[in-house]
Structure 1
Amino acid sequence: MNEMNDTYRIESDLLGEREVPNAAYYGVHTLRAVENFQISGTTIATYPNLVIALAAIKEAAAQANAELGLLPEALRAAIAAACQEIREGRLHEQFVVDIIQGGAGTSTNMNANEVICNRALEIMGHQRGEYAYLHPNEHVNMAQSTNDVYPTALRIATFFAIGHLLDAMEVLRAAFDAKAVEFAGLLKLGRTQLQDAVPMTLGQEFSTYAVMLEEDMARLREASALIREVNLGATAIGTGITAHPDYAAKATAALSRITGVDLITAPNLVEATQDCGAFVQISGVLKRIAVKLSKTCNDLRLLSSGPRAGFGEINLPPMQAGSSIMPGKVNPVIPEVVNQIAFEVFGNDTAVTFAAEAGQLQLNAFEPVIAASLFRSFKHLTNGCATLAERCVKGITANPDRLRETIERSIALVTALNPIIGYKNATSVAAEAYASNATIREVVLARGLMTEAELEEALRPEALIQPRAYGPKPAGR
């Protein structure tokens, strides 16, 4: 039994003995990792999905090894009980290693092994650190390597994170869709290259944001299928050394039952152990989502700019005072924060790309930075979508008077008359209206190019926002 007093216990590893706080469930390997990797200040406990995934893997491994007659039932039961507590949210504070670490995730794996082992020892009636009865490596890590545990945990955690992000995106999509219905009857001016274009409705404009989200949700679901393929059972490099021939199939089946995720064993475990392509794919989809969310927020900021010297077509709900010096100023803070989330996701995607490319031979040692980058992107995009929906989109209102004014004064309105009066006449009308500060309607009537009844028919709101059939142009037009 390890030496112990009221404040610490003595544990040993390859490098020698260390004092481990007696209150800690982690052990000497975790202690050294905490000292070595004071990098981001963000521990793996920050990402509960990862901790839960690790516990699920250890429980599945224990189940498989017990079924194969390699792990006594009493030890399996204790390990499983400890893992179930962790999956329910207990002891997460004991996962203390930095998310950014050297060693291809070994510190994370050992943190899980030690916490599970010491809690299982307590369940068995022993003291923490009494590894003669149950050992972190010999039993909790049986038939495993960091090189199959860590990437499998990342895939499961990513699968869970996808579900959370999809839920948040659906809330935002529904919010935009509701606004599209609310604003369906409000005619406004479209814009291309920030110049006046042809009319549309504010509802059509908002419907595009809902559709963009729906498309990205579909891409995210497609990408999620890639991460159901795991390399559990590969052990060190994919050859399965130290594992029973039937271990991979049994462990993966048990893990599927525990997590509720339909996992499959990769057909080539050597390839699967070194390949990070699925993470690159997922990261690319997150970047796609971020690009379009940021574009949407740019639009919201433009459309609400003002209130008097900007577009002023919509109002964002006021969230806080916007200036420490300019009284009455209110800023579009919610779209701004989502823009910044998008910028971070772009950078995270670059980090994932470089880390995936940097793998060498049978292992990629840089999966910790892939994990950190992906989980930050997932967390911030999920929170960003929820925040944008609840604290911005649901409270947006329109300014109908401003919308009517821009339509009536628009030179681009002449585009609707082009099939009737011809391109040459339309160009001349546009030039005169611009030079004289008149409206298109006024110039067309003054020139006698159309009767007032013809003009009213051509400029009906319904005629301006959808295709329509035209007859042949009259001679001379």
Structure 2
Amino acid sequence: GLAHPAGHRAARSVCSPALGSRRGLPWDRRDVPHLADATPLRLGQEVGGFARQIALSIERAERARQAVMELPVGGTAVGTGINTHPEFGSRVAEVLAKETGIPFIEAKNHFEGNAQRDGLVECHGQLRTIAVTLFNVANNIRWLGSGPRCGFYELKLPDRQPGSSIMPGKVNPVMCESMMQVAARVIGNDQTIAYCGATGGQFQLNIMMPVMGQTTLESIHLLAAATRAFVEFCAVEMEANEVACEASVEQSLAMVTSLNPHIGYEKAAKLAKEAFATGKTIRELCREEGILPEATLRDALDPWSMTEPKP
């Protein structure tokens, strides 16, 4: 039964604050277009997606805590409660609630509480989802910071350590990759928890409780430590590379999308193919061929206007 209060306290005091520390970071660059060979988006829009992922992760951390509120204490060997006072379970839960400030309650059914650890399985399932989110965010940031000359390099990531003993000047995105490795560990830990929950609970006792408890605590502490380090040593020092962002947008063949209302799909597609073949931008070809008046062309190829619906 100790795995439940330990997991709850760790999730509350360690995991949630670490996730919350991502709030208020200087990422919302609404004035910097973000590349794609699809239509452009603003860097602030993409980071807004990251922020929503983190907000949902904080909610999942809360659900992880709620999953271990019932304490399987008082059922003794098989769930009958033999050799204990009838109020043993409720009194223990009351004492633990008073000592920890967490409203623990006695398991509503001790036969279920003794035999299964579905609460821990559910709890760690939320941690796995958080890990998937953090992996995704860190990996996207890693790619956006790739380069500096042969990658995207839309984000300037802080240099933390030399990246190679044979390539002078090479710097790796170590904070992103550390976050990704922790996330991979937690995702693997979830397999352990699920396996133990499914196979360890024969009849009235689950004998896999020690590994389930230890693995859950490991995942919580790893996620919290990695998130704090990622925020402190990477996220708060990231900067938008405005030059690279603007160049990528201007070179993108997808800029032709905004010309559809003016010249039609077929002519726009032909223009995109010509731009690709010649290495010229959509804007350059339009000017050379006199496809649109300059003012109309300027408005049509304004990246900002392509990042939100038009009334």
Same fold (TM over 0.5): yes
- Which whole-Å CA distance do the structure 1 matches of 2:245 and 2:167 have between them? 28
Describe how 1:430-469 pairs up with structure 2 within 5 A: 430-469=272-311
Structure (1 or 2) with the larger CA radius of gyration:
1
When structure 1 is superposed on structure 2, of 438-447 and 272-281 the one drifting more is: 438-447
Instruction: Give the TM-score, by structure 1 length.
Output: 0.63
Deviations, residues 197-235 of structure 1 (Å, cap 9, x unaligned): 111111112221111010111122123212111122112
Q: Structure 2 counterpart of 1:450, which letter?
A: L
Contact 2:33 2:304 in 1 (8 A): no
Say whether residues 1:154 and 2:7 are aligned partners. Answer: no
Describe how 1:100-111 pairs up with structure 2 within 5 A: none
1:248 Cα shift? Answer: 2.1
- Which whole-Å CA distance do the structure 1 matches of 2:262 and 2:7 have between them? 57
Deviations, residues 305-345 of structure 1 (Å, cap 9, x unaligned): 11111111111101111112221111111111111111111
Match of residue 245 from structure 2: 403
Match of residue 284 from structure 1: 125
- Which whole-Å CA distance do the structure 2 matches of 1:347 and 1:317 have between them? 29
Contact 1:174 1:210 in 2 (8 A): no
Match of residue 257 from structure 1: 98
Contact 1:302 1:311 in 2 (8 A): yes
- Selected match of 2:15 from 153, 156, 165: 165
Contact 1:415 1:426 in 2 (8 A): yes
Say whether residues 1:269 and 2:110 are aligned partners. Answer: yes
Query: Unaligned 5+ residue runs, structure 1?
Result: 1-150, 191-195, 470-477
Q: Structure 2 counterpart of 1:368, which letter?
A: P
- Which whole-Å CA distance do the structure 2 matches of 1:347 and 1:260 have between them? 32
Match of residue 174 from structure 1: 24
1:461 Cα shift? Answer: 3.5
- Which whole-Å CA distance do the structure 2 matches of 1:325 and 1:165 have between them? 38
In structure 2, the residue corresponding to 1:429 is in which secondary structure? helix
Q: Structure 2 counterpart of 1:444, which letter?
A: C
Describe how 1:75-474 pairs up with structure 2 within 5 A: 151=1, 153-163=2-12, 164-175=14-25, 178-180=26-28, 183-190=29-36, 196-358=37-199, 359-469=201-311
How many residue pairs match? The answer is 309
Give the aligned CA root-mean-square deviation in angstroms. 1.4
Query: Unaligned 5+ residue runs, structure 2?
Result: none
Contact 2:63 2:123 in 1 (8 A): no
Work out which structure has the larger RCO, using CA pairs closer than 8 Å and 6 or more positions apart in sequence. Answer: 2
1:445 Cα shift? Answer: 3.2
- Which whole-Å CA distance do the structure 2 matches of 1:244 and 1:314 have between them? 63
- Which whole-Å CA distance do the structure 2 matches of 1:322 and 1:295 have between them? 22
Q: Structure 1 counterpart of 2:33, which letter?
A: L
Q: Structure 2 counterpart of 1:228, which letter?
A: M
- Which whole-Å CA distance do the structure 2 matches of 1:282 and 1:248 have between them? 22
- Which whole-Å CA distance do the structure 2 matches of 1:216 and 1:210 have between them? 10
Q: Structure 2 counterpart of 1:179, which letter?
A: W
Stretches of 4+ aligned residues off by more than 3 angstroms: 445-449
Contact 1:433 1:443 in 2 (8 A): yes
In structure 1, the residue corresponding to 2:35 is in which secondary structure? strand
